[in-house]
Amino acid sequence: LAAIIVLDDNDDQTISAASARILGTVLGGLITFLVHTILSGWMGVLVSLVLMIPILQALGWQSALGTAGITCIMFLMIPSHVALNWNYVFNRALDTVVGCVVAILVGLLFWPRDSYRELNAADQRLRCALLSQLQHYNAWLQDQQQRPTPLNPAPLTTDLVRMEQLVGRERSGPRHRLLRRRQWEQRLRLWQLTQFHWISWERLLQSLPEQKAQQAELIRHTVEALQQQLAATPAPTPQRQSRSWQQLAEQQQLPLLPLLALAEELRPLHACLGGLNRLAPQ
């Protein structure tokens, strides 16, 4: 019965349910046994439940309350507290532990853990998408291809949502130390910031006249710098160069405000891509 209740295709949920069932059975059996040496019947059940709730809350085992309560009610079926002995409590705890261990082993056999493989795959898809788009922009600015269309944000958002789900699951699971050691929470935050600044930067770049943007050396250098940040050795975030962008607007007759906005989006995007490069999975 324990194996059926706790079995899940998510190993972390199986372990969580198994822990709650084991703790609830042991603590519920212990408290009920001690109370039933003094009281019996429904009064003993009531006193046992009254004692269980604050104890479980104090220990942070609220998820075990259901199992502890069921254990207490099951003891009610024993007609006399004399028949309720330590052997019964031990056997009850033992069969629960065995059932939970079986459930965990079955989960590992049929649904092996792959959270970190999924995280690495999503991270790689995002990197490839941005790097490929930067290569297209670089080729366009060198007049080697047509102007690329902006990236569809839907696949990026899908990968980010999945990464957020996996990070949240691992954070509350038994392998949370591995999550911190591999810095997945920082990577997720960087990807979220990168997506925000990327969409804004790309829209601003698309708003510039095509021919004049292709002739702007400063824009070409910024695209090359972003590509370098993600694919090669990251560099420090550049300082603001408002004067250079103003000169570009005057020389190429480009709108000044979109250029300045493009420059402002460039700096955080440059920093985020560099951070992702430094935290790249090994």
Containing structural domain, residue 50: 2-110
> Does position 124 have pLDDT exceeding 80, yes or no?
yes
Name the DSSP letter for residue 240: P
Number of domains the chain is built from: 2
Weakest-pLDDT range from 35-39, 87-91, 107-111, 191-195: 107-111
Give just the sign of the alpha carbon dihedral 21, 67, 31, 56. Answer: positive
Distance CA 140, CA 32 (A): 75
pTM above 0.85, yes or no: no
Q: Does 171 lie in the same domain as 185?
A: yes
Distance CA 30, CA 32 (A): 6
Q: Does 143 lie in the same domain as 39?
A: no
Do 197 and 237 touch, CB atoms closer than 8 A? no
Confidence category of residue 273, pLDDT binned at 50, 70, 90: very high
Distance CA 37, CA 44 (A): 9
Q: Does 13 lie in the same domain as 76?
A: yes
The residue type at 92: R
Q: Does 178 lie in the same domain as 99?
A: no
Residue with tokens 């429904």: 42
Q: Does 139 lie in the same domain as 60?
A: no
What is the predicted pLDDT for the residue at 32?
75
The domain boundary residue, chosen from 94, 110, 126: 110
Question: How confident is the model over 95-120, as a mean pLDDT?
Answer: 70
Burial 216-227 (b: 16+ CB within 10 A, else e): bebbbebbebbb
